[in-house]
Amino acid sequence: MRKKERYEKVIAWFQENVPVAETELHYNNPYELLIAVILSAQCTDKRVNMITPPLYKDFPTPEALAATTPEVVFEYIRSVSYPNNKAKHLVGMAKMLVNDFQSQVPDNLEDLIKLPGVGRKTANVIQSVVFNKAAMAVDTHVFRVSHRIGLVPDSCTTPFSVEKELIKNIPEELIPIAHHWLILHGRYVCQARTPKCATCGLQMMCKYFCNTYKVTKEESKAKNK
C-alpha cells in the first residue's frame, strides 16, 4: 500500500469510528493543562488526574503557585514520577508566567519551551489542545503507533522526525485530533507489549499486522475496498 493511500484510509477509519478524540487530562483552563502536562511526563494521565484537584484548588493562579516553594508542591505530587524535579519545574514555570508573560500561557512554541519543565512535546500539546494549532506532540504512543501502522518509515528514529513526517502527510486541519487518535489508539488498542490486533479496525491498513500475519497484497486490497 502506498503511503498516500495508507494515510487516507487510516484517517477515514478514525473519522468514522473515533469522531471525538481529546485529551484525558482533567483541566479547566490553559494554566491547569500546563500543570497537568508537565506532571504527565513518564506518568499516566490517570495518576495525574488523581493528584491535580487539590493542586488546582490551592494554587488556582500562576501567582499563587509562584509564591510557594518546591518543597510544598512536592507534598501534592509525591506519587508521580520524578516529583522533586517536577515540583521545581512547576514553581519555576509559574514564576516565569508571572514575570515574563503577564500570567498568561504563551500560544507559540518558542515561548512555551522557555518555561521550566516544558519541552517540545509539552509545548505541542498546549498549542494543539488549547490553541487548536497544527502541532503534533509525539509521545511514546504516537511514536510506536506511527511506526507500526506504517505512517512513518523506519528511518524516523526520533520524535522530531516522526513529528515532521506526520505533519507533512496529515491535512493541517486534522492534526490536532489526529494527535489524540494516535495516542488513544496506542493506549487502548496498539499497546506496547500486547497489541490487540485481533480486534483492531486498522488491520488491513497496518504494516505490522500484514507483516505479522502474512497478509498478501491481494488480501489487503480486497478487504480495503
pLDDT for the residue 120? 95
pLDDT one-digit tens code per residue, 163-211: 999 999 999 999 999 999 999 999 999 999 999 999 999 999 999 999 9
Q: Are 122 and 138 in contact (CB under 8 A)?
A: no
In this predicted model, what pLDDT tens digit does every residue of 69-95 receive, in sequence order? 999 999 999 999 999 999 999 999 999
Active-site annotation holder among 9, 139, 168, 223: 139
Q: What is the mean pLDDT of the chain?
A: 94
Confirm if 197 and 209 have CB atoms less than 8 A apart. yes
Asked which of 115, 131, 147 is the last residue of a domain, the reply is 131
Residue 111 falls in the annotated catalytic set: no
Q: Which domain holds residue 193?
A: 3-21+137-213
Q: Is 197 annotated as a binding residue?
A: yes
Choose, from 45, 111, 114, 121, the residue flagged as catalytic.
121
pLDDT of residue 1: 83
Contact status, residue 212 vs residue 169, Cβ threshold 8 Å: no
Q: Is 210 annotated as a binding residue?
A: no
Question: Is 221 within a domain?
Answer: no
Q: Confirm or deny that 200 is annotated as ligand binding.
A: yes
Grid cell locating 133: 494549532
Count of domains forming the chain: 2
Do 40 and 118 share a domain, yes or no?
Answer: yes
Please say which residue of 110, 131, 152 terminates a domain. 131
Terminal-residue alpha carbon distance, the chain? 12
Calpha distance 184→104 (Å, rounded): 29
Indicate whether this model's pTM tops 0.85. Answer: yes
87/154 same-domain check: no
Looking at the fold, whether 193 and 164 belong to one and the same domain comes out as: yes
Domain of 156: which CATH number?
1.10.1670.10
- What pLDDT is recorded for position 213? 86
139 catalytically annotated: yes
